[in-house]
Structure formats: C-alpha cells, structure tokens
Chains A and B, each alone.
Chain A
Amino acid sequence: MQTEQKTKTSDYIIELRAVTKSFGNVNAVDGISFGVRPGEVVGLIGDNGAGKSTLIKILSGVHQPDSGQIIVRGEAVRGWNAAKSREAGIETVYQDRALAPQQTITRNIFMGREIKNRFGVIKVKQQYAEANRLMRDIGFTSKVFDPDSPVATLSGGERQGVAIARALYFDADLIVLDEPTTALSLVETAKVFGFIENVRARGRSIIFIGHNIYHVYDVADRFVVLDRGQVVMTEVKGAISTPEVLIKHMQEIAELGHATDASGT
C-alpha cells in the first residue's frame, strides 16, 4: 500500500528493485533493479555464472529474494512464488526445460496448471486435444508423435518444443526464455526464433537469455548485461549499431570487471 504512490508511474509488467540473492557465500544476484515493459524483447546477457538464471528465477517465483522488492503491474507483491507468477501471466522456459520425463507430453504441458473442474478433476480429453493442437502448431510433424507418449522418448529439440508449447498455451504477457536454443539444431533454432517473432507480433513481452550475441542482437529491443550478479549495462538497440559493437562492450565489461576486482572494491 505504501508503495502505491512510488510505483504509480511504473510502466513495467514486472519490476525488480534492489533485489539480492545469495547461495552460501555466492552473491548470485547482488542488488539488481530491472523491469520489463509491455511489448518489448529484453536480451539478458552475461558470462556463465553471471546470475542470469537466478535473476529470472526470482522473477518467476522459483527463488525468493533475500532482499529487495518485486513489483507486478505497479503493485509490490508479497509471498511471490511460481504459481503466482504464472497466474500473473509470466511463463518461463527454464534452462533445464522443467520437464518430468516419465510423464506424457500432455501432462508436461499442463504441469502445475491442469485443465480441471472445481473439484480438481482433470479434463483429460480437453487436455489431450489441446496438447495435440499445440504440438502441431509448434511443428511436430517429423514423426508419429502422440501427446500420450512420455517426454523421455523425445529428442532434445522436441523437449524444448514441449517446454515452449507450454508457454505458448497459456498466452502469457511475458515469456522468459533461458538459453532456449542451447543444444538445438539450426532448424530447431529457427523455429524458436519464429516463435519469438510470433509472440512479439502479438504485443507480448519477452526476456531472452542467450549465449550467442548475434542471436540476442537479432531478437532484442533492449540489452541488459549482467556481471557477477550486477547489471553493468542497459542499452536500447538503437544505440548499438551492430552485434560487433555489443560484443566489444561485453569484452570491455569483462576487463573492467577484472580491473575493479583487482583494485579491491
């Protein structure tokens, strides 16, 4: 309630303010303020271990921050968790894909958000039909797939397809993709980018985490660079003429980071 005044002007879907999270003595997220506006694609980049996954897991409610605020559509939230974040229209494709391999494709797509009646009884036929439609939409034509087959029978790219189909089904306002193209073939990667364009065209927001700077440069409207748990650069695409410029910035950051470190901040 007290935060209402402060945040009234916030045009972010979700915003983090001075958020920290440490694991033991690793400060994975070390005082980050960060937000996503409606319709924008944010490219989140940084070295391995920079804290990207931890940051988006705070957004999606998997990790509770040690300190700082989470503000959703202008209101500070309490007890933020994964279920609430999904209810708030945030879907995340996690780096580990968050699949249960022994369960069917259908069950994985609806994991945690089943189609059910008010007594909790699952509408099995409807889920099956929706899963079938989604798998076609996402381009599962290569072989005779069946929404009733276990995810363990799928290839890496197909598994990523299931994880993305899940995000697609719930028609989220914000879709978070944590390294979605890692270990995918060229064709599969192209599919993921097609998917991102789709989401963008529908005016939804995206956070895209990627290793490949060229990829990130292509899809993002704005870049946020993390280094050792902190935001070290935020820049809109207009200010960066080519991916090479972005790469150069990244290199500088790496060096600067070391320099700051050596001087004992």
Chain B
Amino acid sequence: MFGSGSGSEQQIAREDASGLVKWLRSNRRAITSTLFLFVMLIGFTAANPEVFTQFKTYRSVMIALPVSMFLVVPLVFVVTAGEIDLSFPSVVGLASYAFASIVDHGGDPLIGIAVALIVGAALGYLNAILVVRIGLSALVATLGMNFFLRGLINIIVEGFSIAIPEIRDTFIHGLLTDDPIKIVDHLGIPNQMLWALAFTALGVFLYNRHSFGVRVHCVGDNPESAAEMGIDVSRTRTLVFVFTGIGAALAGIFSVMINFVWWPTTGDGLLLPVLAGIFVGGTPAWGGIGTVFGGMIGTSIVAFIETGVIAAGLTGFFTQFFYGLIIILSLIFQRFNGGRVR
C-alpha cells in the first residue's frame, strides 16, 4: 500500500537499508494517529477492562462508524486539494431523503441508491460551481450551502420523518448492512463496516497511486505550478467536490439502512466529528499532504470517545469535554510531524 519499488540492484541494497525508515517517515502522520488510537483504547481498557475487552463494544461502535468513514475519505481529498466542504451534512440529508422517499413510495431500493448518488454528485458539482467556477471562498460558500440545503429539506418535509422498515427484508439491505437488531448476539463485523473499509482502501489507492490523487496533492501544494505543468486545476478541484457529494450520498444511504428511518436532521450530527476526524487523523489544514488511512483512524478515535467516556463510568456530560481534550491532544501529537514546508 505504501511501499515503493526499485530498479537496479544497487538501489535495492540502498532501499533495504533505509526501507523501513523511509516507510515510517512517509507515513508518519497516519502512524501517529494509529498510535494515538491504541493509546486511547489502552487508557479506556485500564479504566473499564470489562467493557473494553469485549468484542461487543467494538462491534457497537462499528455499526455507525462506517457512515463517518464514507465522508472522511473524500474529505481528505478536499482538504489536500486546499479546499474545504462544510455542506456535507446537508448533502447526506438530501441524498438520503431521495433514497428514503423512493423506497417509501414502493420504489426499488437500487433505484433509490442510484438517485441518491446522482443527487450527491450533483450537489457536489453545485459546490464546485460556486467555489471553482464563480470563485467563492470554499469555507463560506459550502457553509452557506449547508444551511441552504437543510432549509430546503425542512421546507419539503415540514418536519416529518420517513420510516422504511420494509427495507429490512430486501436483499440489498442484507448485503449492505447486517441488521444489527436481528443479530444482536452475532459477533461478526457488521457488513457496513466491510463496505466502508473497502471504500477506504479504494480511497487510499486513489490518493497515493492514481493520477487523480497525485494531482490533488499537486494542486493543493502549489496550484500555480500544477497549472504550469498542464494539470487542469479547475477540473481537479471540481472532482474532489463531486467525490465528496458521492461519499455523502453513500453515508446517507447507509445511515438510513442502519436506522430504518430518515429524519429531517439526518447528517446534521456528523459535521464536527467528521471534520475532527480528518485533522485528528493527520491531514493538516494547509493542503498538499494528508492521509486517507489516518482519516479513517481519526474518525475511529472520535467514535470511541463517547463509548469510552460512558464505559469509564463518567456521565454523558463529560463527552464533549473529552471530545475537545482528545482532539487537541492528538493535534499536538501531529504537530511533532512538522509544519508546512516550502
């Protein structure tokens, strides 16, 4: 996944000597966040060994964590490209609304999925028009879009939720998400986690080994240089927004599949944990570098905080406090990986 190749035998010798060091160095941000996750889990285990030595605990986190993973992967691309997208909670809401209402009206869930993906991609493209074509600030424009789209949802549904319990018996539901209620004693990893891992692996590959990911790096690092070397900077930026729209649609589809309900607020609670996951995972805010794998770890760190705080015997009142504390601590650790180089 991260290794690098070699040509001549001389090179192989040189690489053998420093291969591990090189690997550690080029992946230090992801490694830092992974270590941080382990240290945190060890701390939780020390506080409550009974809970944190049971697979059940991890499984319960893995039920909802995938929703965040579908978001954090494309968002790492966005931040690496030197942009930001704060509209994703409402894109999750609107895309999953399309899915839920199609299923609710007796439509084929597959058509619902297809339409949700199209809605997500289209909204991502709309963001790109605002930011890339018109040249608005990504921060402000996508924040505006987040309010605008949530407002649109509220106007459309006037506060009503959509329950789709009928989805439970469909093949597609079984394929995408093991029903967590039906199989409460089943100790397997929920299907949605496997899909989210596959999506993350695809993200890691695109990010490091595909010309799209490499160009995202170059554009975020130095857009003028990228343009001078013939990279279509606008196209690259547009694609990261569209990718995020697609990720948001997937997150929304999975969220509804897992809960059997679409709420007018679906997606809203994701804004801060997912954003935190990007940076906690080791992707710096300045663009040009980052880590998709770290992003997954970062969202896991955030996801385990709530479970850990409760399991440690503290009341829910402590959750936010620990959110903040752990986010700041992990960022301080990432700081040791150095600031921006020019």
Contact = CB atoms under 8 A, between A and B. Distances in A.
Real binding pair? yes
Interface of A: 57, 60-62, 81-86, 92, 94, 96-103, 107, 111-114, 116, 120-122, 124-126, 128-129, 132-133, 146, 148, 150, 152-153, 166
Given A85-B230, A132-B11, A148 B22 contact: yes
Contacts of B341: 101-102, 150, 152-153
Contacts of A166: 229
A122 B225 CA distance: 20
Contacts of A94: 225, 228
A81 B228 contact: no
B228 A92 contact: yes
Given A101-B221, A103-B217, A112-B229, A122 B289 contact: no
Q: Which interface class (under 10, 10 to 19, 20 to 34, 35 or more) fits B?
A: 20 to 34
Contact of A122 (B26, B211, B228): B211
30 contacts: A62-B227, A82-B231, A84-B230, A86-B230, A92-B228, A96-B225, A96-B228, A98-B222, A98-B228, A98-B229, A100-B218, A100-B225, A101-B221, A102-B340, A102-B341, A103-B221, A107-B214, A111-B218, A112-B231, A114-B214, A116-B211, A122-B209, A122-B214, A125-B4, A125-B6, A128-B6, A128-B7, A129-B6, A129-B11, A152-B342
A125 B3 CA distance: 10
A153 B338 CA distance: 13
B186 interface: no
A101 B342 contact: yes
Interface of B: 4-8, 11, 18, 22, 26, 209-212, 214-215, 217-218, 221-222, 224-232, 288-289, 340-342
Given A94-B228, A98-B228, A124 B209 contact: yes
B62 to A, nearest CB: 30
Given A103-B217, A107-B214, A148-B22, A98 B232 contact: no
Nearest to A112: B229
A150 B232 CA distance: 23
A84 B228 CA distance: 11
Contacts of A132: 7, 11
A104 B231 CA distance: 17
Nearest to B212: A120
A245 B139 CA distance: 57
Contact of A113 (B210, B222, B230, B289): B230
B231 to A, nearest CB: 5
A82 B227 contact: yes
B1 to A, nearest CB: 11
B227 A99 contact: no
Counting from the closest, the 9 A-B pairs by CB-CB distance are: A125-B5, A129-B7, A112-B229, A152-B341, A83-B230, A100-B221, A82-B230, A112-B230, A98-B225
